[in-house]
Amino acid sequence: MIIEQDEKGNGKFKFTDDEIKILNEKKELFFPAEVIRHFQNVLMKLVAGIQERLPGGTMKYMTTRPNFKYHKETIKVPPKDKDDKLGKK
């Protein structure tokens, strides 16, 4: 997969024929825990780069769902361990 961003800040994800074939056959992407950690790091770097290239006017746009929750049917996240201190206020 190649991720491109043009000078106007628009983004495009491009897949190879082999990648499309895998997605069509499997209908999912699977990341073992070790790989998802590296993917997370790459994704954060990508997000930072996208932010730098966005036109100034787009910075005023706000997400309209400030209390966004995972949509249970589309994103499944295991419950946090009761001893997990992250996310607690």
The pLDDT > 70 percentage for the chain reads: 66
Regarding predicted confidence, which is higher, 86 or 39? 39
pLDDT the model gives residue 18: 94
Per-residue pLDDT at 20 exceeds 90: yes
Average pLDDT of the segment spanning 27-53: 84
Angle at 10 between CA 41 and CA 6, to 5 degrees: 90
Residue type, 20: I
In this structure, what token pair is assigned to residue 41? 């790091």
pLDDT the model gives residue 89: 43
State if pTM tops 0.75.
no
Average pLDDT of the segment spanning 18-30: 92
Q: Where are the domains of the chain?
A: 2-60
- State whether residue 40 is helix, strand or coil: helix
Average pLDDT value over all residues in the chain: 75
pLDDT the model gives residue 24: 95
